[in-house]
Structure 1
């Protein structure tokens, strides 16, 4: 699942802002993936770090007008926030392409989530283990829609929780993959997506379910 952008570049700014990569003519399966989670967990960062095209984002500067409605506990240094969604793309192979949508994290934008989940093949729930409770709503909505998901704990340098502790806090079943990542790293973000795709392949493998609309797309 290599990105079309080289890992090494002489210009750090160019690495942070990848050029537009042409989509191969053979690509005929577009697979929609949503990255969701609480406020400030790194959704925009993950989409930006792994996308092979210059990502679309709808970040706006945070102002005092939002102080009474946005819970900034633990992310007081945050100066911008997504108000609609982020969008990026990464090519899996000659035929399959992942379209990545990063959902807004503040509670006042949660009404957008149900619409954003429409047609979604699977999702990544990004978690800040310092604020695990912020991920509850994302998991609840995904389960409501029947959307398969994995959980990725973003590394913010705080105390490390064991997988068992995270699973217990989020009431995750053993069938839900749990990984750790650094959303700033392309390789780490790519590994998260690989885990999700492998999870979906397992769910939609022949015999796993009677019918699976995504099975052909993942085959």
Structure 2
């Protein structure tokens, strides 16, 4: 008997090849900021995979070492990094690395920042000073970054121009308001960072000296 093997439909072959090839573009982004500002929350909110977390419980040994002012409900801390992944359209995959916030773990930042397209610096208006270390670090390294203010329920609300002035941020650096718990809000921050980094890579003439802003999120939904 002479049997012939039929080829799979073209669309099935293409689908298989896409899965085998994986994302066509991979971008590395850091999520940085002070202790307890919401980095782990943001990575978890957008990650399409189960995020890797290196959280440990806070103990009495951290008393006098970690600044817990305004963080009465904080019971854990990231000791190495958070990791997540989100795939955008056109085969663009973003790999997210959340940095540890406490000063004693800052030695990890140099390793985590290698090859990064840019960084999101999360800020909390109740503890703005905690953002200075991250901003200084990325400014000194020349790493593109945006500042995203995580709008906590009990925090005072300020417009981006006021936050820019308080943090002494250069005019071209995007400043946004966000809710790190909401997937859509967190994605908007990532998109703003990618677009900002691409503008900087295109040259100084393409950088727009204005503050980026998303509508102030609500905590009701």
- TM-score (norm: length of structure 2): 0.80
Is residue 160–residue 177 contact of structure 2 (8 Å, CA) maintained in 1?
no
Aligned-partner SS, 1:71:
coil
Q: Report how far residue 126 of structure 1 moved.
A: 0.2
Number of residue pairs aligned between Structure 1 and Structure 2: 188
Distance in structure 2 (CA, Å) of the matches to 1:26 and 1:54:
18
Aligned to 1:161: 158
> Structure 2 unaligned runs (5+)?
1-17, 207-221
Give distance in 1, aligned partners of 2:136 and 2:19: 34
1:1-219 equivalence runs, <5 A = 25-157=21-153, 158-205=155-202
Question: Aligned pair in 2 of structure 1 residues 206, 151: CA closer, same or farther (>3 Å)?
Answer: closer
Q: Mark the CA change 1:206 to 1:70 in structure 2 (over 3 Å): closer, same or farther.
A: closer
Give the deviation of 1:191 after TM superposition.
Answer: 0.8
Gaps of 5+ in 1: 1-21, 210-219
SS in 1 for 2:176: strand
> In the alignment, is the contact (CA less than 8 A) between 1:114 and 1:141 conserved in 2?
no
Runs of 4+ in structure 1 off by over 6 angstroms are: none
TM-score normalised to structure 1 length: 0.81
Stretch deviating more after TM superposition (46-55 or 114-123): 114-123
More off after superposition, 26-35 vs 136-145: 26-35
User: Larger radius of gyration, structure 1 or 2?
Assistant: 2
Distance in 1, Cα, partners of 2:185 & 2:32: 17
Residue in structure 2 matched with residue 19 of structure 1 by the alignment:
none
* Structure 1 range deviating more: 72-81 or 162-171: 162-171
8 Å Cα contact 2:52/2:83 also seen in 1: yes
Q: Take 2:196 and 2:160, find their aligned partners in 1: how far apart are those partners?
A: 18
Shift of residue 104, structure 1, vs aligned partner: 0.6
